[in-house]
Every structure is written in C-alpha cells, then in structure tokens.
Homo-oligomer: A and B are copies of this chain.
Amino acid sequence: MCDACVIDEVKRSMLSRRGLLGLGAAAGAAAVMPAGAALAQTQTAAPAATREVRGTALADLTHTLDPEFPTFSGQQQFFMDQRYRVEKDGYNLFDLRIDEHTGTHMDAPLHFSPDGLSVDQLPVADLMAPLAIVDIRAKAAESADAQVTPDDIKAWVSANGELPERCVVAMNSGWAAHVGTPKFRNADASGTMHFPGFHPDVAAMLLEGSAVGIAVDSLSLDFGISADFATHMAWLSAGRWGLECCAGLDALPASGATIILGAPKHRGGTGGPARVFALV
C-alpha cells in the first residue's frame, strides 16, 4: 500500500468510526481538580471502582530521553538548547523542542480521533491501574514481526486469572533492550520497520472489556510492518489510551503490579512524553 493510500484509508476508517463513539457525556474526571484548570470532558462512562493499591517501591518504566532517542519517523524529534549557564548566568536552563510522540510517551485518543480526549482530559482515575504484562519475548526473538495475539491474551488469563477490571495490558517483547541500537527501529533496505506490536484482533478483544490502556515496549502500538495503523485506529478511536517505548517490564511480575502513568497535561495535546512507574 502506498503512503498516500494508507493515509486515505486511515481517514476513511476514521470518518466511518465517528458515529460509533458515543460522544457527549461529560463528567468531572479528576479526583481533585486543580484550581484554574478547565473541567475535563470525558468520553468514558463510569469512574474506576475504588480499589486499594499497595506497594513499597516504584519501578521506573521510562527510558531516558535524549536527542538521539530512536523515533518512528527516523528523524530527530527532541532538541535541547541551553539558554542559561550557571557559570555565566547564575543558573542552568534549557529550552526544549519536541514532537509529542517521542521517547516513552502517551497516545491520547485525540491522536487518531477527531473528537477524542486530549491528554489533559484523560480521567486521572485511568492513570493508575492494575498492570497485566503479556510476555512475547520468545516469539519476538524468533521474528521481529511478532504480534500479541488473542491466543497470548488467553494464555495470560489461563496463567493469571481474568484480566483485572480497568487494567492496562502491556506487551513485553524484549524490545526495550534494543533502544540504544538500530534494532529498535529495525528498518530494512526499503525503510520498512520490523518490531512487535498488538494485533488489531487484540484491540477488538480488549474493547469488549474494561482495559483503560495498552502499552508496548516498541515504537508503536501496531507492529512495524503495519500498513494501516489498525490497532491505533481501533483502540484510540474508542477513547482509550496507549503508551509506547515503555521500559523496565522485564523486572515486573505478569500480574500484581500497579502502573502509574505520569502523563503530560498540556491542553489539547495528542500525547507526549510521560514518566511511567509501577508500584510494586
């Protein structure tokens, strides 16, 4: 599929989905509304049920971001310009320039959906959730074009019980270990990238349930050779969020951790670098 065809297909698909979104419900979302902030408009139905979380430490699921961080586009997407220096000016300060979709970062529904929630509108209750980690490292080591499939979800359920209510489902493909190498993008001679992602059938399957987000340790919710962003389209257009370039999943249990998503909060943003922790 040529690039232009892909874009057209994406647009057609998006328009056809707009009728399915069930827009219009607005509700106070944050547990505590910051003074001066506009009340978030939400598309989600009920707030999360109250559930006690416990832990003794934070695990860091965030890669360090620098100008060399690999990107989906292949172009540099993060720039730092030191405007003040302590030796000369008394303090250090940088101006930053960044494409929202760089580093360990969020995809808000608005990224692929004309009427979707922006990153500042995501309900705070959806930024802390039970974390279900689906380990596909073995098959991803055999083929970089591996995907999380419905069978992988079923295997997780067989081993760990039903997915928790309003959970986050994360793919651990082992790709975080490649972040400092060309293997992270893994582009072939034609420029097509090869890295793992979620199969669109899993997005459809999880949309039947209450999962609030999906996370990948690779550059995209869709696997690298995807020609149509089908997982992005299905998932984000349904008002749920995504996390890309997640780090640190190897050290966590398949079930039992709580993810805490320090999403950016710029008004109208389509996503952005996030500080992501797991409470363990």
Contacts and interface: CB of A to CB of B under 8 A. Distances in A.
A90 to B, nearest CB: 4
Interface string A60-72: 1111111000000
B32 A251 contact: yes
Contacts of A178: 35-36
A79 to B, nearest CB: 9
Nearest to A14: B86
21 contacts: A10-B91, A11-B86, A14-B86, A34-B62, A35-B177, A50-B56, A50-B57, A51-B56, A58-B124, A58-B127, A64-B267, A80-B269, A91-B229, A91-B270, A93-B101, A94-B269, A95-B99, A260-B262, A264-B273, A264-B275, A265-B275
Contacts of A34: 60-64, 176, 179, 247-248
A110 interface: yes
Interface in A226-262: 229, 232, 247-248, 250-252, 260-262
B53 A54 contact: yes
A65 to B, nearest CB: 5
A279 B31 CA distance: 10
A96 interface: yes
Nearest to A236: B91
A99 B93 contact: yes
B10 A90 contact: yes
A277 interface: yes
Given A64-B266, A80-B266, A114-B87, A96 B272 contact: yes
Interface of A: 6-7, 10-11, 14, 30-38, 50-66, 78, 80, 83, 86-87, 89-101, 103-104, 110-114, 120, 124-125, 127-128, 176-180, 229, 232, 247-248, 250-252, 260-270, 272-280
B57 A56 contact: no
Q: For A92, A120, A247, A263, which residue has the most chain B Cβ atoms within 10 angstroms?
A: A92
A165 to B, nearest CB: 14
B97 A110 contact: no
B58 A33 contact: no
B65 A267 contact: yes
A77 to B, nearest CB: 9
Contacts of A252: 32
Given A97-B97, A112-B86, A270 B52 contact: no
B58 A36 contact: no
A279 B65 CA distance: 26
Nearest to A8: B90
A13 B7 CA distance: 57
